[in-house]
Amino acid sequence: MSLMNRKLLFFLVVGLAFTLLGAFETMNPNGAPAGMTGSPGDGDNCTSCHGGTATTTANLITSNIPASGYVPGTTYTITATNTLSGSGKMGFEVSPQNASGSLLGTLTAGSGNKLVGSGKYVTHSNANSTTNSWTFSWTAPAAGTGNVTFYGAFARNKPGPVTLSTLVVQEAASLPGAAGPITGTNVLCAGSSANYSISPISGATSYQWSVPTGATITSGQGTTAIAVNYSSSASSGVVSVFGKNSAGNGAPSNLAVTVNNVPAAPGTPSGPATVDLFNGASSEYTTSGSTTAVSYEWTLEPAESGSISGTTTTATVNWNSYIGEATVKVRGLNNCGTGSYSAAFAVSVTNTTGIDNLSTETLSVYPSPSNGQFTIKSPSLPLAKWSLINLSGQTVMNGVLDLNGIAEVNTEAQKGMFIIQIEKDNIRKISKMIIK
């Protein structure tokens, strides 16, 4: 080969080398091909063109999305910055995706960048050695999308370094929806239990329940269903619930609950305090009642004194042939149970049948009824012997009338009907006396 030919071949080889080097340096100067972000869905990155092994660098993708998260449908500014050292032209590719590689939201190119891959990727539009930061817009996806990851690949020169970076943004929480109706028992008795529930609330991550005073949530707080125990001192009130999440509390739902108790003790019965069987074998008693009672139970003691009937605030006693003290009391009933008895009302039962009232023409006893202090007067029988006799025939007390036929008596005998008898010179007079 001649010298001239050898020189020509040398210049051709050198020229081809420079041409290839320039091609390498300017490969994809107008943007990277789609699918090179290094995301799990792409499965590829810029090393397929630029060679080497990709490293990882944090914070190369930044945004003005607040820490609380993106609001669906809102447009934000995203910035990609290539910090790779060395010389040569710089480029990037970024895509917001989920784990399966689907595009999330909408990209809009800015100055010096463009969209590729049917809008799924944003990349540089004119790589050079001075521009290392690109800004573009992203419109957040629909509510409920959740976290979005921006995957990015950054390269410099050919061959040259490649690094990957990501930015993860969360969806901003909105207030939970309003709570729907509460289902459960709304009329119950103190000392019982009940269950309450609600349908799931949109956007709620937990639930806050409250119950009336004296009631306790035994299980389910924070969920859509609770169990509640109402103590014996529980009051009527409201069961309430609202949804919660990181953004705050939703509107509540309320259920009014009526808590009933067993009836309070009724008022003390009223009626005849002294009963003379000579005048009749029955008597009637009433009570002012109890506001929560729906019926009443009456009791007569001792049982041998007679029987009592009635389920309202009025009852009738039918007396047996009984002489002595008896009591009448009453208590209220409702669907929660039986209440306490009222105070007992005392009754003195006597029977004056067979006592000769005509024999009292010249004998007077007053006052009657008395409290145990009374006067016996029989002017026609001075110094006559007097006796206080109970209806069982026992002499409780005795004495002698004075010269005027008078005796002042003070006795602590039990309440009831008594007989006053005076005797002198085979003369006997009798009168009735009531001590109350």
| Contact criterion met (CB below 8 Å) for 235 and 259 | yes
Same domain, 59 and 136: yes
Domain end position, chosen among 260, 287, 305: 260
Residue 421's CATH number: 2.60.40.3080
How many structural domains is the chain composed of? 4
Phi, psi of 80, rounded to the nearest 5 degrees: -115, 125
What stretch of H or E contains 282?
strand 282-286
Furthest CA-CA distance within the chain: 193
Distance CA 223, CA 225 (A): 6
Distance CA 105, CA 367 (A): 106
| Contact criterion met (CB below 8 Å) for 168 and 144 | no
Domain end position, chosen among 328, 350, 372: 350
Distance CA 37, CA 92 (A): 8
Distance CA 365, CA 408 (A): 10
Q: Per the domain annotation, does 140 fall within a domain?
A: yes
Range of the domain at 211: 183-260
Return per-residue pLDDT of the chain as tens, 436 residues. Answer: 555 555 444 444 334 433 333 333 345 788 999 999 999 999 999 998 888 899 999 999 999 999 989 999 999 999 999 999 989 999 999 999 999 999 999 999 999 999 999 999 999 999 999 999 999 999 999 988 999 999 999 999 988 899 999 999 999 988 899 999 999 999 999 999 999 999 999 989 999 999 999 999 999 999 999 999 999 999 999 999 999 988 889 999 999 999 999 999 999 999 999 898 888 899 999 999 998 899 999 999 999 999 999 999 999 999 998 888 999 999 999 999 999 999 999 998 887 765 544 444 578 999 988 999 999 999 999 999 999 988 777 889 999 999 999 999 999 888 888 889 999 887 888 888 888 8
DSSP 8: H
Tell me the one-letter amino acid at 129.
Answer: S
Same domain, 160 and 201: no
Same domain, 283 and 323: yes
| Contact criterion met (CB below 8 Å) for 45 and 38 | yes
